[in-house]
Copies of this chain bind each other. A is one copy, B any other.
Amino acid sequence: MAQAIPFRLVSRLKAPCHHCSLSNLCLPLAIEENDLDRLEDIVEQGRIFNRGEQIFDQSMPFRACFAVKSGAIKTSIITETGEEQVTGFFMPGELVGLDSIGTEHYACTARALERTSVCEFPVDKLKELTSKLPELQHHMYHLMSQEIQNSHQLSMLLSKNTAEERIAALLLSLSSRFRRRRMSPTTFSLPMARNDIANFLGLAVETVSRVFTRFQNQGIIKARGREVELLDIKALQMGSRELSRQSHNR
C-alpha cells in the first residue's frame, strides 16, 4: 500500500538522478545540470528495505546519509533504559542522517515504515563534493539548519500544545509534504502506526486514538485505519500554528 513510485525504478543499477522523479526535491535540486554527474558518481541507488527493516542503527559507525526514494522511514533514539523516542518521519525526497554528520556513530536508528527504497550518499565523498560545489554546500547547511528548526518546532509543539493541536499539526505537516510530491494533500494513507504517532508527539496511544475519533465525529477528518481524508483544513489549522508551514527539506 501507499507505494508512490513504480517498482521498476528500484534496480541496483545506476539510474541517473536526471531521470528521478524526485530530482526537484532531493539533493539534485541544489546542483547545476552539468555538475549533476558528479553527484551521480558518488550515489549508490536503489537499496530496498522491507517494512520494519533497519536502515542503520545507533551503534553503527556513521557512513552515509540516505535519501528516501519511495516508502517512508522513521528515526528514533533508544535510551539506555530501552525506551524509544521517535525523532522524525521521512518521506520521499527527504534526507535521513543529517543529525549524524560529524559524529563517529549514527545518532539514531532508522527503520523502514513500509517497503522503502533509498539512495545512499557516503559522507566522505559528499563532504569532498561540498567543498567543490558551493551550491551543494549551501544546500547541506540549509537542510541541516532546517532540521534544527523543525526540531525546535517539535519542542514547541510538545511543550505548549494540547493533544488535539499536536495531531492536527502532524496531519497538516504530512499533507504539505504530500502536496510537494504532487500527490493529494487531503487524501492519503499514513505511513506510520498510531503507536509511532503517539511516541513522536509525546502522547499515549489511547489519546491519539481518541483524538482521531473526536476529529472524525466533528467532521474534521475521515479516518479508517491508516487511510485519512482531511475534510476541514481550516479547523485543523485552528490552534496548530506550529508545524503547519514547516519546510521539510527543500
Contact = CB atoms under 8 A, between A and B. Distances in A.
Contact of A102 (B138, B201, B242): B138
B202 A141 contact: no
Contact of A142 (B80, B103, B202): B103
Interface stretch (A3-11, A44-52, A144-152, A189-197): A144-152
A201 B155 CA distance: 9
A248 to B, nearest CB: 14
A201 B101 CA distance: 27
Copies in the complex: 2
A99 B147 CA distance: 8
Interface string A121-154: 0000001001110100111111111111101111
A132 B159 CA distance: 41
A134 B202 CA distance: 39
Contact of A152 (B101, B108, B140, B202): B108
Most B CB contacts (10 A, CB to CB) among A77, A85, A151 go to A151
Contacts of A130: 131, 137
A158 interface: yes
